[in-house]
Structure 1
């Protein structure tokens, strides 16, 4: 019986894990492996590292329930993977394909190191519903506009979702290593730990999916932009870490009441991944360069980061981010448009700040959406105008969202909280200067 090392990265689940399923379905012993790589941990959001620690503990427990275990190593991913290959006398390494510049370079190094050792590597889908590159426009390497991508994406016959294994036969010669402690976030991370961050792991993620399907999906088309209602799925962090399979989620939601609109959002996620696969500098430079007169505004940027701009709906969104490591999708658009189109601060500064706090921080989606907001990305109307006050009144008509996250305004009635704040109507404790627009 041969042995296969299954390298986990951001696919921290047992349900619908093609790389693991392939290894086990052929009757092989496996070594489930996760490497705590300083190149990944250094500078990562404390919130994401906190989620990771919980997800790894949950994954190990699930593997042990099936007779296996999770091997944990610390160091360079390629070096440690090849060391485990030697320890286990493995002849193959399986991993899930990913699209960021770092992940792509890591895969190339791993493939080269394995070839040099006479070991096979195989990459599998699992991060997206439709793998990047599976649909392409005629004469191009990727879709630059969402609508034609969406049509092609819908026409693809999706693969079947794999069940979780009932038994995992592990090579017993490999020491499993210790799980990371909770202080890993403090030792490596950036940004603050959000007090109301959601917990991580496949067990919690699947419970969240069941609850969402039962009580949230049907109303999603009507309610997902309602700031106060908070009727989005809140599954983004679970998708980012692969504790939920995007394909399994799309399959179970498709065709249900409200499901098609939700599945369209999963297509948007895939869209940004195929853009990133073709343009790996998405988090560094303009996808579509424009002559925007960016400003250096440290005072305005600091006020924006801290949720003290004097624009209540903007401040509410930024404070939600600090408090939860999450922000409502409509608030993300409002806050990013305010920074890039009103204050004219470069999109990368805002995207990097988001990335330092978001539990669901993902290169493709975070930076892709920021470039869309700034007019440098995949928006077909890069010069579109946004009236932020109208947005606030439309999607938080009674001001409930604002009062939830800006408690200084708790005593201000109804939509009055959406007025640009003037000294004569300031609420006690909300003494913020209105930034010049």
Structure 2
């Protein structure tokens, strides 16, 4: 029998009305308060860079418009989420509060605090799994452990695991009387990123029709950028990962299989973080690294002034657009941690400061994977930016796009290795000399880390 009292649907990273178990369950009540709290702790941290804040604002405005079509509106508050939700629950004598499970230590602590406060008020907290991820965070585990630490066996289990069914959009949502909505932020573009569920579903439909089948063949092509570019929408929950996986399976191809595998990687990192919250900033596997003093090397890397064009192209793309191709993320990360031998946390923080899709689980655990302190089964592999350029940017179109100093060079090899040019030509380019020697950097890393592959 449907709950005939008042409920709250607390939106966090699930800013959508389609396939949202939090909203659908809360809407079974006679009155429902769809609520988002702008957490001032997050707003004042690196988790709220200008790209992400613009993207978030657009998502909130779009969510409000969708809720109004259902007869309701998005109620906005600012402050401590637990205090704001508890205050709302007490004022409207709420029977149940619904929220999505999340992976970070901060989100889990917020959930525990909310449970305690609501229990003191004699109200229920309902935590919904498989809202932010395809499968519940702690559902897929190996024998004798609370999480998988290697992707391949996790993926085999992940693929065999039955997914929850998609949930319908509520037919109607009624707000209780006397409720003040608060100020919904105006939607604005984050560079060329339009936030919100409406845009997200349009982009997803277009990419599924035109890009999914060829994803395996083109996802590493830097110039073509054949990736889905849906990660910001997944981070903010404008799209349901369960729905994306289901749609991909309905279009069987090598490309769809590769794409679903990427959704599994996303779940994998979230289940690691959920089980080991400290891994957000502490080595998942301690290597006794004696990281070098960053000094000017870190500044050059951040600015895209390393003298290695592929590395610099990625770093400049990040600063200008709030986005970086995944292959570039791997190359720039390997260069920082294994050529310059600088602490991966410097890179993780810089990415979070700029990425529109900056996600603690994916960003930081991918950084650990690249640095060899995470779940990579080959922790000492080093990605050579020159070999990576030959393979993934053979015509140098990607580098020319983001490193204009080299755009007029005709030979792709000159673009990727400008130090080959005569000194007078190099100086005329206005492009920096390399800040490191690749072979020496690799040798230093392996000797300091302990060697071996």
Taking structure 1 as the reference length, the TM-score comes to: 0.95
5+ residue gaps, structure 1: 184-192
Q: 1:380 aligns with which of 370, 377, 380?
A: 377
Equivalent residue, structure 1, for 2:419 = 421
CA contact (8 A) 1:133 1:274 kept: yes
Note the alpha carbon deviations across 1:60-92, whole angstroms, 9 max, x for none. Answer: 011001101111011100000011112222111
CA RMSD of aligned residues (A): 1.5
Q: 2:402 aligns with which of 379, 386, 405?
A: 405
* More displaced stretch, 135-144 vs 294-303: 294-303
Which runs of structure 2 are paired with 1:26-105 in the superposition (5 Å)?
A: 26-43=28-45, 44-105=48-109
Equivalent residue, structure 2, for 1:239 = 234
**Separation of aligned partners in 2, 1:340 and 1:239:** 27
- Shift in Å, 1:4: 0.5
1:142 is aligned to 2:171? no
- Shift in Å, 1:182: 7.1
Change (3 A) 1:239 1:306: same
User: Secondary structure of the equivalent of 2:127?
Assistant: strand
CA contact (8 A) 2:90 2:121 kept: no
Equivalent residue, structure 2, for 1:286 = 283
**Separation of aligned partners in 2, 1:168 and 1:301:** 51
- Shift in Å, 1:181: 5.3
Change (3 A) 1:427 1:28: farther
User: Secondary structure of the equivalent of 1:4?
Assistant: strand
**Separation of aligned partners in 2, 1:357 and 1:115:** 39
Note the alpha carbon deviations across 1:373-422, whole angstroms, 9 max, x for none. Answer: 00000001111232221111100000000001111211012422111535
Note the alpha carbon deviations across 1:24-82, whole angstroms, 9 max, x for none. Answer: 2x343210000011111112212111111111000001100110111101110000001
**Separation of aligned partners in 2, 1:413 and 1:206:** 40
- Shift in Å, 1:433: 2.5
CA contact (8 A) 1:397 1:414 kept: no
Equivalent residue, structure 1, for 2:180 = 175
**Separation of aligned partners in 1, 2:216 and 2:282:** 33
CA contact (8 A) 2:72 2:175 kept: yes
1:214 is aligned to 2:218? no
Equivalent residue, structure 1, for 2:199 = 204
- Shift in Å, 1:209: 0.4
- Shift in Å, 1:138: 0.4
User: Secondary structure of the equivalent of 1:36?
Assistant: strand
Taking structure 2 as the reference length, the TM-score comes to: 0.91
Note the alpha carbon deviations across 1:283-311, whole angstroms, 9 max, x for none. Answer: 21100000223111221111111111110
Change (3 A) 1:102 1:197: farther
User: Secondary structure of the equivalent of 1:62?
Assistant: helix
5+ residue gaps, structure 2: 438-453
**Separation of aligned partners in 1, 2:304 and 2:178:** 53
Q: How many pairs does the alignment contain? A: 426
1:117 is aligned to 2:121? yes
- Shift in Å, 1:255: 4.6
